[in-house]
Amino acid sequence: MLDFTNKVVIVTGSARGIGRSLAEEFARCGAKIVITDLDQAMCEQVAREISPNAIGVKANVTAGADIDALMQATLDAFGRIDVVVNNAGITRDTLMIRMDEKDWDMVLDINLKGAFLVTKAAARIMMKQRSGRIVNISSIVGLSGNAGQANYSASKAGLIGLTKSSAKELCSRGITVNAVAPGFIETEMTHTLPEAVRKSFLERVLVSRPGTPKDVASAVLFLASDEAAYITGQVLAVDGGLTV
Ligand code: NAI
């Protein structure tokens, strides 16, 4: 088992789904966890359920003031920041010719600009520590594109560019930045997909089952661990072979 004893970990969008599972796995491996999402009461409840070493802090990743407050609350509670996982994300799917500008902006703002703002704020603290791990949750559609997801695919492709650029800027300060690109993972986000879309994804998964949040967590924890010190700027697909 990977050891995160005394490591301080922030996972954005961790009130449910993949983010919550990440937080649970980090806690199981000894980390101090910051649960952060859009609703304060929910963040606090999840923190209570997960670990005595967890706190809940509401933060909208698109709001600079919320992010500053999140960093400060983390330092006040735990004194440092070792790992940040940029997990918060949304979909607003429709064919590009029908896509509203506001749905484009909203998805790019939360999925991409949110990760930029959180990375920038956390990197300032990690640079002083001269150590840190940042893991961005991209998607295989950021590599391949997907009909009906022009906004989402662009945001997830953008995250890969952000990952590689920030890896180059931050490596000399002991900070690695990597991305995980999940395939089809069973969460509330994928429950809303039409049956035909689910079927077409699952037919192409070599491992013959949908992924679970825990499958994603295994990859993220590895990239966030001391054992991954020589890996930076990489994108690891966690997709059961869907993109092979
Ligand atoms: P989910 O919808 O279950 O959870 C997303 C969480 O992000 C929610 O708790 C939500 O409240 C939070 N969130 C949304 N907007 C936010 C904001 N502005 N600030 C802070 N938090 C916000 O989604 P799921 O499936 O757990 O996805 C997590 C990440 O994994 C997302 O980035 C998603 O794009 C990515 N992903 C998911 C896949 C899947 O098959 N479920 C596949 C590939 C990537």
User: Confidence band (pLDDT; 50, 70, 90) for 1?
Assistant: confident
Structural domains counted in the chain: 1
Q: Which ligand 1 atom lies nearest to the CA of residue 216?
A: 30
Q: Which ligand 1 atom lies nearest to the CA of residue 21?
A: 26
Q: Which residues are catalytic?
A: 152
Buried-exposed string 181-204: b where 16+ CB fall within 10 A, e elsewhere: bbbbbbbeebeebeeebeeebeee
Average per-residue pLDDT for the chain: 97
Query: Which range marks the domain in which residue 61 is found?
Result: 8-238
- pLDDT at 206 exceeding the cut of 90: yes
Report the CATH number that the domain containing residue 230 is assigned in CATH.
3.40.50.720
- pLDDT at 194 exceeding the cut of 90: no
Residue 1 domain-assigned (yes or no): no
Angle (deg, nearest 10), helices 101-108 and 150-170: 30
Cβ neighbour number for residue 235 with a 10 Å cutoff: 17
Report, as an integer, the average pLDDT of 193-213.
Answer: 90
For position 196, what pLDDT does the model report? 86
User: Confidence band (pLDDT; 50, 70, 90) for 130?
Assistant: very high
Tens-place pLDDT, residues 113-126: 999 999 999 999 99
Report, as an integer, the average pLDDT of 98-111.
Answer: 98
Dihedral, CA of residue 145, residue 147, residue 152 and residue 157, to nearest 10: 10
Tens-place pLDDT, residues 57-95: 999 999 999 999 999 999 999 999 999 999 999 999 999
For position 25, what pLDDT does the model report? 98
- The Cα–Cα gap between 156 and 166 comes to 15
For position 176, what pLDDT does the model report? 98
Find out whether the beta carbon of 181 lies less than 6 Å from any atom of ligand 1: no
Residue 85 domain-assigned (yes or no): yes
Residue 2 domain-assigned (yes or no): no
Residue 244 domain-assigned (yes or no): no
Straight-line distance from the first to the last Cα atom of the chain, in angstroms, rounded to the nearest whole number: 28
How much distance in Å is there from the Cα of 87 to the middle of ligand 1? Answer: 6
Residue 243 domain-assigned (yes or no): no
Cα distances (angstroms) measured from residue 203 to each of 96, 155, 185, 193, 239: 25, 25, 14, 15, 12
C-alpha closest to that of 13 among 106, 114, 81 = 114
- The Cα–Cα gap between 93 and 182 comes to 17
For position 189, what pLDDT does the model report? 85
Residue 12 domain-assigned (yes or no): yes
Residue 113 domain-assigned (yes or no): yes
